Structure 1
């Protein structure tokens, strides 16, 4: 697990690892990664009847520990049925509050993964939003942690990695969410 307060050299190394992963991405992986949040935004619009905030909020609320296809299925079903089901109580409560009209920023943990996921889906061109999940972590530390705890619930650790993705994005000339998505695609499709 990385330190909550990383040194400047550690942060530079995490940023280098992110840039190197970006450079290993194929043109097809870069295209798909760059399009990922724009496609998610379209899904949010479609399932919510045109309300990107609401659709993105429900997708984010139901995202924890689910694959993207399952996340979309649960969110689509929630809008179709008028109530969220099939997830843990906390996620369902958040999704139902958002569907009832509460602003997602009042419901979601905006300083951690779920909140940032909402922002990336709601606005795929957001200049600062970046999602730090287990894959983003593993890319930055150049090690696959498997089921080991990464400690991403610690705000300092999460912010360190988010800032490294922002620094990598600036060096690459891209927005942070696209760097995260491209590197995510390259990482999960890596040859072991």
Structure 2
């Protein structure tokens, strides 16, 4: 795991790594990254009868260890029919509390990925929120960690990397969430292109 209190030189390297990935993004990747949270915001409003904040809270509560497709399917299920299934009991309890009227900010861990994910979807123009997942971490550090522990459950380490994205965003004249989303798209597609694949089936 990276140190919680790195040297200024190391911290600057993290910022430069983020910016390098930003500049590596194609125009199409830039466009998808820029619109990601706004699209998610619209979907959150759609599944919750127009209450984007509640929809964003339910989506975030059910996001851990799920693909976006799985996450959205579970959130639609909870908001549409009230059926609570398909996730850990803690996540389902948070979603239930939000559906019962609790403010997501009072239910979700706002200093961790889940809370920031909620903030970015609820308000795509939030100037501080930034989602730090395993890909965002690896972009900043400049190394793929694979299955190694990144230590992102530590609030100080999370905030360190989040601050690096904020600094990169400041230098680029962008929102931190936009920088995270664009670099995430570029990075994950680069990783997918470099993962060895088996032979394609022939028809």
**TM bucket by the smaller chain?**
over 0.9
Please give the secondary structure, in 2, of the residue aligned with 1:149. Answer: coil
Contact kept? 1:131, 1:177, Cα under 8 Å: yes
Deviation at 1:83, TM superposition (A): 3.5
Q: Deviations for 1:146-190, whole angstroms, at most 9, x for unmatched residues?
A: 111100011111010000000000111100000000000000001
Q: Which residue of 1 aligns with 2:58?
A: 58
Deviation at 1:84, TM superposition (A): 2.3
Deviation at 1:47, TM superposition (A): 0.4
Q: Which residue of 1 aligns with 2:100?
A: 100
Q: Where in structure 2 are there 5+ consecutive unaligned residues?
A: 195-203
Q: Which has the larger radius of gyration?
A: 2
Q: Which residue of 2 aligns with 1:22?
A: 22
Please give the secondary structure, in 1, of the residue aligned with 2:149. Answer: coil
**Displaced runs of 4 or more, over 4 A:** none
RMSD over aligned CA atoms reads: 0.7
Q: Which residue of 1 aligns with 2:149?
A: 149
Q: Which residue of 1 aligns with 2:158?
A: 158
Deviation at 1:136, TM superposition (A): 0.2
Q: With CA pairs under 8 Å and 6+ residues apart, which has the higher RCO, 1 or 2?
A: 1
State the number of aligned residues: 192
2:163 is the counterpart of 1:172: no
Q: Which residue of 1 aligns with 2:201?
A: none
Q: Where in structure 1 are there 5+ consecutive unaligned residues?
A: none
State TM-score, norm by structure 2. 0.93
